[in-house]
Amino acid sequence: MHERRTRKRFVGRHEVLIRTAMNKYEGSGIPAHTFDLSTGGARLVSPKSFPVGAVIRIRIVLSKTGRDIALDGEVKWLKVREGEEEYEFGVEFLSLTSPAVLALIRELYGTEEGIPATVA
């Protein structure tokens, strides 16, 4: 199978809060966590499903640096986790800001692998 991803994925758990267009700025949101993370997207695990194509607001607490970042992302795929009442889905980040990208780079590359010269 051909790998379509251009960015390296880092397996790791980061706490996430998901909001939809309906509750983008209000309410507590839906708790979730990452399975893996890159500078371009994430695989999330949540007790609630979201349809493919939905745009969601994601707040990620980066576990190494302790920073909070808020991103919009589009759900690209969805599957039910067998034997669990959870869903796993891929999200592509949309309209990343420079501070968000820098926070992700510091989290993912900062200590173990060195910050790359270029980031796709």
As for how many domains the chain has, the answer is 1
Q: Which domain holds residue 14?
A: 10-109
Q: Do the beta carbons of residue 59 and residue 44 sit within 8 Å?
A: no
The DSSP bridge partners found for residue 11 are 36
Q: What is the pLDDT of residues 39-77, one digit of tens each?
A: 999 999 999 999 999 999 999 999 999 999 999 999 999
Chain-centroid distance, C-alpha 64 = 15
Does residue 117 lie in a domain region? no
Does residue 55 lie in a domain region? yes
Mean pLDDT of the chain: 86
Does residue 30 lie in a domain region? yes
The DSSP bridge partners found for residue 60 are 16, 69
Largest CA distance in the chain: 42
Q: What is the pLDDT of residues 103-113, one digit of tens each?
A: 999 999 885 55
Does residue 96 lie in a domain region? yes
Does residue 48 lie in a domain region? yes
Looking at per-residue pLDDT, the higher value among 1 and 100 belongs to: 100
Q: What's the CATH number where 69 sits?
A: 2.40.10.220
Does residue 115 lie in a domain region? no
Share of residues in the chain with pLDDT > 90 (%): 68
Does residue 4 lie in a domain region? no
Does residue 1 lie in a domain region? no
